[in-house]
Amino acid sequence: MNNMMQPDERGERIAPANAGKILRRMLKYLADSRPLLIGMLVLLSASTALNLLIPDLIGRAVDTLDISKGRLGVDWQGLIIILSVLLTVFVFSSLFSYIQGRLAAKLSKTAVISIRKDVSEKLIRLPVSFFDSHKSGDMLARLTNDIDNISNLISQAIGTAISSAIVITGCIVIMLIKSPLLTAVCLSTVFLNILFTVVLSKKMFGYFRKQQKAVGEMNSHVEQSIDAKKTVNSYNITDECVAECDRLSDDLMDAGIKAQVLGGAMSPVMCIIGNLNFLLIVAVGALLYINGGFGITIGTIQAFTLYSRQFTKPINELSQIFAMLMTALASAERVFEIIDASTETDEGRNRELKNDACSISFEHVSFCYIRGIPVLDDFNLKIESGQTVALVGKTGVGKTTLINLLMRFYEPDSGRILIDGVDIRDIPKATLRKTVTTVLQNTTVIDGTVTDNLSYGNLNADAEEITKAAKMTGADDFIKKLSKGYDTDISPNDPSLSRGQQQLLCLACASLTNPRALVLDEALSSVDSATETQIQNAMLKMMSNRTCIIIAHRLSTIKNADKIAVFSEGSIAETGTHDQLMNMHGVYYELYKNQYIGNL
């Protein structure tokens, strides 16, 4: 999607290079509703065709009046027949138009549901790296505002485009039959419409694209401000947040005004051109009637003025929805960027793991988030089956990155990671993530009951298993004190749950997955010392004969680990038990001394 628009002289993309491709792609979402689409098109065509008869019938009604002999003469029989036909046309045209509008609305909603389903399914399957580089507020804007813009285009523009094509074609045919000369007069202003539309369209798309981008940035800021409300108040930066919101609002308003001014300019200019066309028809028609040439009657002039209106109306409507089209194209680009993003894939031999044990090896692993700035550099570490290994080191040395690579949230730039001697790239990700369960520092609580949260990793767990897991981690004690126990509704920002209690729920959830290896990434950082000891004892029972990796800044939590690996600058500086490392008086000794003893 990166080449979707052509750059202007300042290097900004101002118009889609393949707008037709984008439109066809949007229209493909109508394929699942062909009966609705066909019904809408049939009714639309019928309604439009009936409307084309109205000017001719009105012209014929006018010609039933005769004033050539100095007094008004009326062909009452002919007039009554024409008016009866005209009334019938009005009734059926309105009825067909109403039903067609209902079908168009339903068609639009069906298409939008399909688009949202595709985007939602894609978001679930996208790698973690995608979300690290995209703001959640912007993703929300694409799922809501951008898709709504596409919906508006489908519900309004399709009918307008088809109706316009029928009206323009029908008007030209009927007018040519009635008077080729007046038809030429009517068509004389069309090139002005086309010229103005082409010139304006070159400038519009860039502004509409900026407008949609500004909407995403505004959503991201608002979401961030809400999520960090306590932090904002604690640091007394409310005014700064308001100022930033004002700045983003100004950017959105500026882009929106420029986009809407250009889009709004279409209608008045087209109206001026349409009125010019009307004057030309009346003037030329009157001259022809006075001179008695080309068989022009008063009814013919009347019919042409109405056909002129009918002819220019769809052109005006097309110009009015042009702004909608530009907005939809900008929105579609953002939506299709998600749909076209590369998903996680399982390439290789799809080898399954059979052993109950779980040894993990990192062999010459290197990785960069930003090219040229290594986080891990030729990293090597062997974790034996059943071992508890702690990873320690200063912030930013690559401990969490190592877990991201183990879980295949990212792929290493070089080297390999083995589980039981099998390269994890040859293990299905579903199997890998059932084998290794990770409990992160940032707890995840979903909207639902306590039971829903505990069974999130194992939806088939029964009540007995859930209660057992909660008791093992110590979560059962505070769960029983909740208003409805395990049936209590909780949410991510529930004030009744402390951060430590949320971590206990996550640990219980992890235990229900029955993993062969457990990774605790600062998972005990928000619990008190007594709870920490309780959880450690529970983990020792749960991890019997299983592999455990612990990342911790609080070194007291890993003193009993079988092996401690000390990180330094993306590689292992030293390994050993707590006592061995303290005796070395190296990096670990300095970390421990600074944390518990102080600078001596």
pLDDT digits 0-9 by tens, 128-143? 778 777 777 777 778 8
CATH architecture of 360-597: 3-Layer(aba) Sandwich (3.40)
At residue 395, what is the residue type?
Answer: T
Q: How far apart are CA 475 and CA 222, in angstroms?
A: 34
Residue with token string 């961030």: 224
HSE, CB side, 13 Å, CA atoms: give it for residue 417: 22
Torsion region of 420: left, alpha or beta (phi above 0 gives left; psi -120 to 50 gives alpha): left
Check residues 216 and 355 and name the one with the higher pLDDT.
Answer: 216
Cα 211 → chain centroid:
16
Give the pLDDT confidence score for residue 535 in this predicted structure: 67
Give the pLDDT confidence score for residue 15 in this predicted structure: 45
Token pair in block for residue 354: 């059979």
Which of 83, 188, 522, 156 is closest to 324 using CA atoms?
Answer: 156
Residue 551 has pLDDT above 60, yes or no: yes
Beta bridge partners of 468: none
For 439, phi then psi, to 5°, come to -110, 115
Which of 594, 43, 130, 68 is closest to 339 using CA atoms?
Answer: 130
Give the pLDDT confidence score for residue 386 in this predicted structure: 85
At the fourth CATH level, which superfamily is domain 19-340? ABC transporter type 1, transmembrane domain (1.20.1560.10)
pTM of this structure: 0.63
Token pair in block for residue 424: 């994890």
Average pLDDT over residues 90-95: 88
By DSSP bridging, strand 65-66 and strand 360-370 are unpaired
Residue 147 has pLDDT above 90, yes or no: no
pLDDT bracket for residue 415 (50, 70, 90): very high
Check residues 72 and 384 and name the one with the higher pLDDT.
Answer: 384
pLDDT bracket for residue 114 (50, 70, 90): confident
Fold: same for 19-340 and 360-597: no
Q: How far apart are CA 5 and CA 424, in angstroms?
A: 40
Contacts of 161 (CB under 8 A, 6+ apart): 318
Q: How far apart are CA 41 and CA 415, in angstroms?
A: 59
Q: What is the dihedral of CA 242, 247, 248, 251, to 10 degrees?
A: 160
Average pLDDT over residues 457-481: 87
Average pLDDT, the chain: 78
Q: Are 175 and 183 in contact (CB under 8 A)?
A: yes
Break the chain into its structural domains and give their ranges: 19-340, 360-597
Q: How far apart are CA 490 and CA 452, in angstroms?
A: 10
pLDDT bracket for residue 7 (50, 70, 90): very low
Q: What is the pLDDT of residues 552-583, one digit of tens each?
A: 777 777 888 889 999 887 788 899 998 899 99
